[in-house]
Amino acid sequence: MKTLPWMKTLPRTETPSRTETGVRIYAIGDIHGQDGLLAELHAAIIEDAGAHPGERGRVVYLGDLIDRGPGSRQVIDRLLDAPLPGLEQVVLMGNHEESMLGFLEDDTNGPSWLAFGGIDTVESYGVEAPSSMGKADLARVQAQLRQAVSARHRHFLGTLPLTHHCGDYFFVHAGIRPGVPLEEQSAQDLLWIRDPFLSSGIDFGKVVVHGHTITPEPVVRPNRIGIDTGAFRSGILTCLVLSGAERYFIQTGN
């Protein structure tokens, strides 16, 4: 495939792990309201998928669609209204989506969510940010955001799954608790864990593909692959491409 001006492709490797036969996975790390970068990455994915017409393409978004960037609402609109043609779409829950939903139900969750990026999401829905974290301000923002977030958006966010698997790969937002079977993981760990997951060298049963923890480049370990490259501050949104035993990365940025 040709390299588009704003895109780079990291070297291809062969691995012992495999996807399901005939399935080509495009796993996208934390978007955080960077709708323009997502549009660029989508263009690259469409081109790549077009070069492999014999495979069934599937795009897996690893959560944290929102917060920290100006286009949170626009990202959700894109996934709902402009899914990539001919490709299956799987969108996972991230801890930022969980936090937003929590605020819509209980404004006491506001200070923590707004402090780590929620203000950008509030403003993307046309709601004025709070001038303080006082009770009256939080109640006003909550009430206005409830009105601004459509039932369609709320249903979409509220029904996102926590995990996805394909062949030897297990997809999740943050990671897993080492020593706990994959089917018994808690939502808290799947959405929030860092250590002891990041430092573990044990075999998890599948290769865990995750975001949540920012690194300058994708992290590839025998038991996990991390693809959150901090798009909201680096301008680099990363996609992991998996097909059979083949693995490579497509990124925005230079």
Convert 71-83 to b/e letters by CB count within 10 Å (16 or more is b). Answer: bbbbbbebbeeee
23-36 mean pLDDT: 98
Which pLDDT does position 2 carry in this prediction?
43
Question: Are 116 and 174 part of one and the same domain?
Answer: no
Convert 94-125 to b/e letters by CB count within 10 Å (16 or more is b). Answer: bbbbbbbbebbeebebbbebbeebbbbbbebb
Could you count the other beta carbons within 10 Å of the beta carbon of residue 25?
A: 26
Give the tens place of pLDDT for each residue, 50-69.
999 999 999 999 999 999 99
Give the tens place of pLDDT for each residue, 159-189.
999 999 999 999 999 999 999 999 999 999 9
| 143 vs 160: CA distance, rounded Å | 23
The range of the structural domain enclosing residue 114 comes to 95-159
Which pLDDT does position 3 carry in this prediction?
46
pLDDT at position 216 over 50 = yes
CA atoms within 13 A on the CB side of 218: 24
Question: Are 13 and 122 part of one and the same domain?
Answer: no
* Confidence at 1, pLDDT banded by 50, 70, 90: very low
* The pair of three-digit structure tokens given for residue 41, joined into one six-digit string: 């990455």
194-200 mean pLDDT: 98
Out of 159, 187, 215, pick the residue that ends a domain: 159
81-108 mean pLDDT: 97
Q: What is the pTM of this model?
A: 0.95
For 102, 132, 152, 199, 222, the CA distances from 206, given in Å and listed in that order, are 31, 45, 34, 16, 10
Question: Are 170 and 244 part of one and the same domain?
Answer: yes
The residue length of the chain stands at: 254
Give the tens place of pLDDT for each residue, 100-148.
999 999 999 999 999 999 999 999 999 999 999 999 999 999 999 999 9
High-pLDDT (> 70) share of the chain, %: 96
CATH number of the domain encompassing residue 189: 3.60.21.10
Domain count for the chain, please give it. Answer: 2
pLDDT at position 8 over 80 = no
Question: Are 212 and 229 part of one and the same domain?
Answer: yes
